[in-house]
Chains A and B, each alone.
Chain A
């Protein structure tokens, strides 16, 4: 191709460079960007933590204060969207945001702290208030009071009643 032809071709095509940093960019539909936990919806069940392949999501129980911390580290996230698929209350969602560059490592964290409830019998923290609320919705009326006990106490009491029944 001669130089003149090349010039003509370049002029006919025009400028292809996008104006991104000066103009906002529209992402395609279904784009998987930064995940965010909605702190008002999350119940702290840990389904997303089980599903997360790179362990970007983690869960930690503070049994002294009675707070369950759900931590999201975006620096390790691979944007697969599995957490969004398994969340029972649609609390975690992938947004359209991709402008995540930062100069501080701590900026990449999101922490949600949820209060835990004490067992009615032994006084141990065993689940979050919100998860209990969510579970109570699906339980039959006569079983609901037993949701106020921790799994260990419930097991002990259940085994006690069954042993009565055998006699």
Chain B
């Protein structure tokens, strides 16, 4: 399901089911705030529903503990297609501070691997909302991105230094004098040369 398709499918009211998979309740309180009058998410047609069978989207919070895993799998199966997932908070996005604990699955990515292996289900499109916890406005922004009201801002940033750039910086600091000292006092001694070069 491409981005444009998601916007088209969820053009009208988006009903969400709040699925807590062992979070510390920080994200849950922020989710409740979103539906309170101050940051009123219901003006965008987003409604919190009590049953996964009524929902279009899952608001997933928590790093998915071992105890919560079977329940989470059942809840995922219960939501009718087409569905989307909003992974709320650092725990859901990448496992958070417990990513390598023994009793933690660790984020939706690893949860989806289990979903593929055990049930053979292709995971639904997922929106990641990082934050610990995310501000209520960050969740509102995510809903805006899902609905196509707002543009996505976060992009991967890769910067690799070029070799010339690196050497230019050092050329000012290291003079030929240093190289001469190394040549003379380190590489020049016959005993040093024997020991160093033999072992390397």
Q: Which chain B residues in 80-107 approach chain A with CB under 8 Å? A: 90, 93-97, 99-100, 107
B157 touches A77 (CB 8 A): no
Could you say which of A75, A111, A129, A148 contacts B94, with CB atoms under 8 Å apart?
Answer: A75
What's the dominant secondary structure at chain A's contact region? mixed
- What's the interface size class on B, roughly? 35 or more
| A120 CA / B48 CA spacing, docked (Å) | 64
Known: A21-B144, A136-B174. A54 touches B97 (CB 8 A): yes
Q: Does B169 contact A (CB under 8 A)?
A: yes
Whether A98 contacts B138 by the Cβ 8 Å rule is yes
Interface size on A, residues (CB 8 A): 61
Q: Contact check, A121 vs B99: say whether CB atoms are below 8 A apart.
A: no
B199 at the interface (CB under 8 A from A): yes
Residues of A near B94 (CB, < 8 A) are 56, 73, 75-76, 108
CB-CB < 8 A to B128: which residues of A? Answer: 75, 100-103, 105, 107-108
Q: Mark A89-115, 1 if CB is under 8 A from B, else 0.
A: 000000001111111011111111111
Nearest Cβ on chain B to A137's Cβ, whole angstroms: 8
| Interface positions of A from 36 to 59, Cβ below 8 Å from B | 36, 39, 53-56
Interface contact A113-B97, CB-CB below 8 Å: no
On whether the beta carbons of B178 and A113 are closer than 8 Å, the reply is: no
B76 shortest CB reach to chain A, Å: 18
Beta-carbon contact of A122 and B196 below 8 Å = yes
> How distant is B26 from chain A, measured CB to nearest CB, in Å?
10
A120 CB to nearest chain B CB (Å): 5
Would A117 and B39 count as touching, CB distance under 8 A? no
B 104-128 contacts with A by CB, 8 A: 107, 109, 125-128
Residues B149 and A107 in contact, CB atoms below 8 Å apart: no
CA distance A39 to B166 in the complex (A): 12
Task: State in angstroms the CA–CA spacing of A26 and B167 once bound together.
Answer: 42
B residues touching A (Cβ–Cβ < 8 Å)? 3, 6, 37-40, 43, 90, 93-97, 99-100, 107, 109, 125-132, 134-135, 137-138, 140-142, 144-145, 149-150, 152-163, 165-167, 169-170, 173-174, 177-179, 181-182, 185-187, 191-192, 195-197, 199-200
